[in-house]
Amino acid sequence: MLIGEPTSPLGEYDCTELTRRVLSVEEAQWHQDARRQQSYDVHAQTQSLILLFCSGWPKISITRANGWDLLADVAVPVMDRIIADHYATGGEVLRAMMTRLPPGGRIARHRDSHPSFAIAHRIHVPLQTNPQVEFIVGNEIVPPRAHFAFELNNRVEHQVINRGAEPRIHFIFDYAPPQTQS
């Protein structure tokens, strides 16, 4: 969503159980659903655990994916807390996923272009990160802080490089408030 700044801080959230669960997922699960990597070249070096995914426009369809059964019981409460703290409730989560960028990986500079990104808030919650992650949104460098949620203006160019020795894992979800749903 086009917000006034590259990012907007939402604060720290207890994601201990979600992080523990994500880190315990078997490696094969990270590779089961490659639709993001196949559809978007900039995400080719990432892996995803997709809980919810939206397709179509202007009539959208939201489907559950392989990550739902693995993580929904610990991911949904985190989403609910963030939404209740910062947004009008009663809307709809269009997408929810864990994204992993391995050591040495990069997400090239890009803007998210699906029309739903104009109406939905893109929320990032870093679950695992390291000081060697360089996340740039517009001209802003986003500090790598685990469990510190922020809204991303994904209509602004952004990029990520992981120069660290461990993967960078973010919980990302898109929330469309009730007045903006299609």
pLDDT digit string, tens, across residues 91-120: 999 999 999 999 999 999 999 888 998 899
- Mean pLDDT of the chain, nearest integer: 93
Give φ, ψ of 168 to 5 degrees: -100, 125
The reply to whether 43 falls in a domain is: yes
pLDDT of residue 36: 81
Assess contact for 75 and 96: CB atoms under 8 A. Answer: yes
Per residue in 70-98, pLDDT tens?
Answer: 999 999 999 999 999 999 999 999 999 99
* In a domain? residue 60: yes
Complete edge-to-edge strand list for the sheet that includes strand 168-176? 7-12, 148-152, 121-128, 168-176, 92-101, 47-55, 61-64
Residue 181 is predicted with a pLDDT of 47
What is the reported pLDDT for 40?
67
**pLDDT tens digits, 10-54:** 999 999 999 999 999 999 999 998 878 777 687 888 999 999 999
The CATH number of the domain holding residue 82 is 2.60.120.330
Nearest to 30 by CA among 96, 100, 85: 100
Would you say residue 182 lies in a domain?
no
Supply the range of the domain harboring residue 80.
7-177
CA distance 163 to 177: 36
Q: How many domains are there within the chain?
A: 1
- The whole-number average pLDDT for the span 132-142 is 96
In a domain, 2, yes or no: no
When pLDDT is averaged across residues 125-133 and rounded to a whole number, the result is 98
